[in-house]
Structure 1
Amino acid sequence: MHKFKKILVVCPAGAVTGGPEALHQLTAHMNSLGLPAYLCYLPFSETAKPPAPYEHYQTQSAPYEDVPGNLIIFPEVDPMLALKVKHAKAALWWLSLENFLERRHIWPLHDRVRYFKRVLQGRRPWGGAKNLKSLLHFSQTEHSTQYLKSCGIDPIPLIDSINEDFLTDKYLDKIDHKKNIILYNPTKGWKVTQQLIAHYPQWQFLPLKGLNRNQLSEKLYSAKLYIDFGHHPGRDRMPREAAMHGCCLITGELGSAGNAIDLPIPSQYKFDSGAPNFVEAFGQLANDVMENFPKHYADFGVYRKWLQDEPRIFKQQIADYFLSN
C-alpha cells in the first residue's frame, strides 16, 4: 500500500543542470521501487518532455493535479508554488540552501537584499523557512538540514548521486596519463580562481564550459586537479564527477563544503579562501599534488568508494520513507 496515490516531481522544463538531473533521478528511482512517480514540468500550462541528456532515466510526465491523495514535490526554489497547493500534500526537496536564501557569501547585506527582492517578487516567504512548516521537507545536505532544524523543521534525509555512468572504475584504471592541469568551473568562485590564475602563471588553468558529456569526461580524465571555491549551495555534482575521473580536489569551505558530511574529503584539501595566507597555502598544496600525484590520488580513495555507494543510499532513503509502514 503506497502512501500516495500519485507523486508529482516538479521540474523546470528544458533545464540541464544538477538540480533537474537530481529530480529526474528521484523519479526514476521511485519508479524502480514501484512508486507511481511522474515528472511535472514547469510551466504547468505547457507540455514538455525530458531533455535529451535525461532521456535514459525513462521517466514519464503527468499534468499538475492538486487533488487529495497526491504528493507534489517542488525544488526548494519554488516554495511559494508549494504553499499554493490546496488539496494534495506539498513538499520541498532542499537541493540548494544557498539558492533558496539567495546567499552568495559576498557580504551579508548583499545577500539579505537579494532575498528581500525575492520576497517582494512573491518568490520567497518572509522570515525564511520558518514560514514553511506546513510543508513536508526532504533534505539533500547536512548543510540544509541544520538550517531547517534552526527553523523548527526536522527534514527527511534524501541525497542524490551523480550520473551512474561516472560511478564505475572505468576512469580510474590508471593515473600515469594525468597532466599538470588545474580545472575549474568558471561559474563557481570565479573571483578566487582569477586570483590564483594571476598568481600562478606557470600552471595551466582550464575552464570547464561549453562541453558535452563526453568532452567533459575527456577533460576530467586528463587533469590532476579540480578546484572549486564557489558557494557550494548543495552537494555539487562537478567535484564528485571530477573525483570519479581520478582528479584530486581542492575546495573552499563555503556552503555544503564547510562540513565533513556533505563533502567528506580530507580536511587538508579545504581552504578558507579569505585567510591571509590562502594563496600561498594553495600554491604549496597544488604544487605537491602535481609533483606527488599518486600519494594525493590515494587520499581520495575512501571518498570515491563513498560516491559509488550513493545510488544505494539514495534508493534506501526513498524506500525508508515511501515504503515503510
Structure 2
Amino acid sequence: MVISIFHNTKIYVVAPANTFTGGPELLHQLVYHLRNNLNLDAYMYYIPSSILDPVHSAFKKYGNPFVREVKDKKENLIIVPEIIDGIKTLKNFSNIRKAIWWLSVDNFYLSFILNSKKNLFLPRAVNKLIFLLFKKRIFDIQEIAYRKIRKNQLNLNKFKAIRDADYHFVQSYYAMKHLEEKGIEKNKIFYLSDYLNEEFLKTQTDLSQKENIVAYNPKKGFAFTRKIISSAKDIKFIPLINMTRDEVIKTLQRA
C-alpha cells in the first residue's frame, strides 16, 4: 500500500492546543518538513479548535500555518497522535483519509484510562478528599494506571476510529510489532521516525560541572524507575517535568 498525494491534497496534523511536550513538538516538526522539504500543503489543526491562540510559544519558530476547520474530502489526509483525544477527533470526519501516528504506545493506553471518569474512580476520589484535608495524595494514579495497562491491555479493534484508520505511522519496532499483534493490518503500518530538537545537540557541556544527580522522565516507565530510585539513596533524582526547554537542557548538563 502507498499513500497517494494528489495535486490538491491538503494534509492536516492534529495537536493539542498550547501544549509543550515532546509529542506535540514532533507534530509541529512534521508539518514544517512537509511544507519546507516536500513542498506539500500541510497545516496544523489544534484541539480544541476554539482556543484563540493555540500555538505554544516554543513552537512559533516553525511558522506552521493552522486551520480551524478541516476540509473533509477524500483526497485530503488527517494525521492524529495516538492519545485518546486525538483518536476521538477522527470520528468527526467521514471522507478524509485518516492516519494515527503512534508516538508512544503506552500514551494511548494511559490517556484512555486517565480520561475515563469510570476508571480509577475510587483512588481518585480518595486522593481528592485527602488533598483537601491534608494537602497530600495517597495514591499514585499514574502508577495504578500503568499496572492496569500491564495487566490487561485494551483490544485496539474495539475502537472504531482505530479500526477504520487508513494508515498507522510508527517510530519504533516495538510500536510496529505491538500494532501487528493487536490485529492492525501490516500493509497499513508505515515507519515515520522523529528526531531530537537541535537545541539539545548544539549545547556545549562542561563535564567538570557534572553533579551526582540523575534526570528522568516521570511519564515514561516510572514503575521501573521508582525501583531504581528506592535502591539508590545516595543519588539525587530530578524529574524532568514542568520545565522550560532551557531548564531541561541545564538540568541535563548537570546530570
User: Common fold, TM-score beyond 0.5?
Assistant: yes
Helix, strand or coil: the match of 1:149? helix
Cα 1:217/1:9, change in 2 over 3 Å: same
| Change over 3 Å in CA distance of 1:128–1:96 after alignment to 2 | farther
Measured at CA, do residues 69 and 192 of structure 1 come closer, stay the same or move farther in structure 2, by a change above 3 Å?
closer
Matching residue of 2:109: 101
What residue identity is the alignment partner of 2:158? W
- How far 1:100 moved relative to its partner? 2.2
Q: CA 1:127–1:6 in structure 2 vs 1: closer, same or farther (change >3 Å)? A: closer
Match of 1:81 in 2: 89
Pair 1:64-2:98 in alignment: no
- Tell me if the contact between 2:75 and 2:96 (Cα under 8 Å) persists in the aligned partners: yes
Distance 1:127-1:7 versus aligned 2 partners, 3 A rule: closer
Deviations 1:40-82 (A, max 9, x none): 1112355543100111111110122212321111112233432
TM-score by length of 1: 0.57
2:99·2:165 contact (CA, 8 Å) conserved in 1?
Answer: no
Give the unaligned 5+ runs of structure 2: 114-144
Q: Deviations for 1:167-209, whole angstroms, at most 9, x for unmatched residues?
A: 23x335x523322222223444445444444433322333333
> Aligned match of 1:42 in 32, 40, 47?
47
Instruction: Give the aligned residue type for 2:41.
Output: P
1:165 corresponds to 2:199 = yes
Is contact 1:83-1:90 (8 Å) kept? no
The code of the aligned residue for 1:156 comes to: F
> Cα deviations across residues 79-138 of structure 1 (Å, max 9, x unaligned)?
3432542121111111111222348552567544xx48xxxxxxx751799x62542221
Structure 1 counterpart of 2:56:
51
Please state how far the C-alpha of 1:35 moved relative to its aligned partner: 0.9
SS in 1 for 2:169: strand
Q: Supply the distance in 1 between the matched residues of 2:91 and 2:166 (Cα, whole angstroms).
A: 8
1:5 shift after superposition: 1.8
SS at match of 1:160: coil
**CA pair 202-96 structure 1, distance change in 2 beyond 3 A:** closer
Over 3 Å counting, the alpha-carbon distance change for 1:75 and 1:198 in structure 2 is closer
Aligned-residue offset at 1:31: 1.1
Q: Identity across aligned pairs (percent)? A: 30
Tell me which residue corresponds to 1:6. Answer: 10
- Which residue does 2:27 correspond to in 1? 23
Q: Is there any run of 5+ residues in structure 1 with no aligned partner, and where?
A: 117-123, 224-325
Counterpart residue identity of residue 202, structure 1:
D
8 A Cα contact 1:184 1:208, kept in partner: yes
Tell me, yes or no, if structure 1 residue 153 matches structure 2 residue 158: no
1:65/1:190 Cα in 2 relative to 1: closer, same or farther (>3 Å)?
Answer: same
Report what 2:142 is aligned to: none
Give distance in 2, aligned partners of 1:146 and 1:198.
32
Give the secondary structure class of the aligned counterpart of 1:176: helix
Partner amino acid for 2:172? T
